[in-house]
Structure formats: C-alpha cells, structure tokens
Amino acid sequence: MSGVVVIVPAAGTGSRFGGALPKQFQTLAGKPMIQHVTERFMHDALVSRVIVPVADVLLAKMKSSDRVRFVAGGETRMQSVIRGLAEADDAELIAVHDAARPLFSIELFHAVVDAAREFGAALPVIPVADTIHRMNTDGTVAQTLDRSMLGAAQTPQVFRAQILRDVLARAQREGIEGTDEAGLAARFGYRVRAVTGDPRNLKITIPEDFAIAESYLA
Ligand code: C5P
C-alpha cells in the first residue's frame, strides 16, 4: 500500500525534562503525548502507517498494530529515524515528526505533503520572533544574526521516500549527525520547500509547555 509513512522518533530518554518517563510518554490531556501524535496521523486517510522508534526498555511494553508499529530506536535521533526507514519500504512519501509536537494540525500536515509532492522535500517554518545570537563557549555574544534570514523549523517534514533515504545514507557515510532532516536535504543540494508553519505547533520542551499544550487541546 502506498501513501505516506510517518516516522515519529521517540527513543530519547528526555533526561533534560525530568519525570520518571521521557516527556513523550507523560500524560497530556488524558493520554500519553505520543498517543495524541499517533492517533491524529492514524485517523488521516493519507497515512498508511506510523512507525515509532522507542528505547529498548520501553519496546516490550508497546503494542504494535497494523498501522502503528513500535520499533527499536537507535543511539541518536537520526539513527532512530534510520531504523524507522527500514519499516517504510512501500512508502511513496515519508514524513518525520517530533514526538514532542502533539499540537500539529492535519491541515498543516497536508500543506507540507502537497509541497513535498511538488518539490520533493518540505517542512513548516515560522518566522523567528527573538533576535538570535551566535554565542561563544564562554557565554558571551559572538555575532547577531540577521533575523530576516532566519526561520524556525517545525515538523511534520515530508520527503519523497528516495530523497530521505539518500539524505540519511549520505549523512551516515559522511559522519554528519543531523537533528533536522530538511536541513540535511538542503545541505546535500535538494530543494526544500518551506510552507507557513503554525505557532501553535509548539515543541514541548519545558514542563511549563504542558499547561500551554493542555489549554490548546481542551
Ligand atoms: O533529545 P532531543 O530533544 O534532541 O530528541 C529529539 C527527538 O528525537 C525526541 O522525540 C527523542 O525521543 C528522539 N530521539 C530518538 N532516539 C534517540 C534520541 C532522541 O528517537 N536516540
């Protein structure tokens, strides 16, 4: 079955966040954050399968179904995505989505899918509101970047399957550890289309973000 296969890397330990479980497994508005993500994708007719790389310790506790498959993650986010790719053989398009972004909308996803069909690779981007400095290791400011040239990357990011495979294989060969597949694709010369992102599609990063996300989900 073709369609969009979605990979949701969730194998991080989330040590910065606190709590007994990684943040993506903590309860948000009544269910684990990861479940908000898998359910929204699963209910979308464009999506043929959702693949969730998780840490080995959690894998045994996860129940895979036809459309949601939990697989063993890797050492890094990128390695976890590569593990997920192995389960996406039949995909025409592959999406990669952060487990920590439970507020994405299907409209946004579809806009990125449409752009990826046309351009090969696409992601949502929002303008940067803060001034961004490149910093020195001693905590002083090295250089102020031109904000008009900056965009903050969100997910879901969507790729023609062949492009994502090529990008990740090249990154692996060249020893590059990317945290953003769209950035890697651009680095390797692919055209990557930016679509207008959604400020609500925030990445749950600090405990305070839980309350914000719950108010949006309510
Ligand atoms: O830790 P960080 O915020 O960079 O992780 C980004 C995403 O990648 C998280 O969803 C995390 O669960 C995932 N990840 C993973 N495998 C790893 C490390 C992180 O799937 N080994």
The one-letter amino acid code at 39 reads E
The one-letter amino acid code at 58 reads L
In the reported structure, the alpha carbon of residue 218 is separated from the centroid of ligand 1 by a whole-number distance in angstroms of 26
Which CATH number does the domain housing residue 27 bear? 3.90.550.10
CB of 9 closer than 6 angstroms to any ligand 1 atom: yes
CA–CA separation, 52 vs 11, rounded Å? 8
Q: What's residue 139's pLDDT?
A: 97
- Per the structure, the count of domains in the chain is 1
Q: What's residue 15's pLDDT?
A: 67
* Pair of tokens at residue 123: 């992601």
Closest ligand 1 atom to residue 13 Cα is 12
CB of 48 closer than 6 angstroms to any ligand 1 atom: no
In the reported structure, the alpha carbon of residue 58 is separated from the centroid of ligand 1 by a whole-number distance in angstroms of 14
* Pair of tokens at residue 206: 């600090």
DSSP 10: B
CB of 77 closer than 6 angstroms to any ligand 1 atom: yes
CA–CA separation, 33 vs 102, rounded Å? 6
CB of 120 closer than 6 angstroms to any ligand 1 atom: no
Q: Which of helix, strand or coil describes residue 182?
A: helix
Instruction: Write out the DSSP string of 61-111.
Output: T----SSEEEEE--SSHHHHHHHHHTT-TT-SEEEE--TT-TT--HHHHHH
Q: What's residue 2's pLDDT?
A: 66
Q: What's residue 13's pLDDT?
A: 82
Q: What's residue 127's pLDDT?
A: 95
In the reported structure, the alpha carbon of residue 53 is separated from the centroid of ligand 1 by a whole-number distance in angstroms of 9
- Structural domain including 45 reads 4-217
- β-pair type (93-96, 68-72): unpaired
Q: Which residues pair with 5 in a beta bridge?
A: 49, 94
Q: Report which of 76, 61, 110, 82 is spatially closest to residue 170, judged by C-alpha positions.
A: 82
Confidence (pTM):
0.95
CA–CA separation, 59 vs 71, rounded Å? 7
Pocket test for ligand 1, best of 80, 82, 83, 205 (most atoms within 8 A of CB): 80
CB of 178 closer than 6 angstroms to any ligand 1 atom: no
In the reported structure, the alpha carbon of residue 160 is separated from the centroid of ligand 1 by a whole-number distance in angstroms of 22
CB of 80 closer than 6 angstroms to any ligand 1 atom: yes
Closest ligand 1 atom to residue 74 Cα is 21
Q: What's residue 20's pLDDT?
A: 78
In the reported structure, the alpha carbon of residue 96 is separated from the centroid of ligand 1 by a whole-number distance in angstroms of 12
Average pLDDT for consecutive 10-residue bins of the chain (218 residues)?
Answer: 89 77 93 97 97 95 94 96 94 97 98 98 96 97 96 98 98 95 98 98 94 93
Handedness of CA 197, 201, 205, 208 (dihedral sign): positive
- Take atom 2 of ligand 1 and give the residue whose Cα is closest: 12
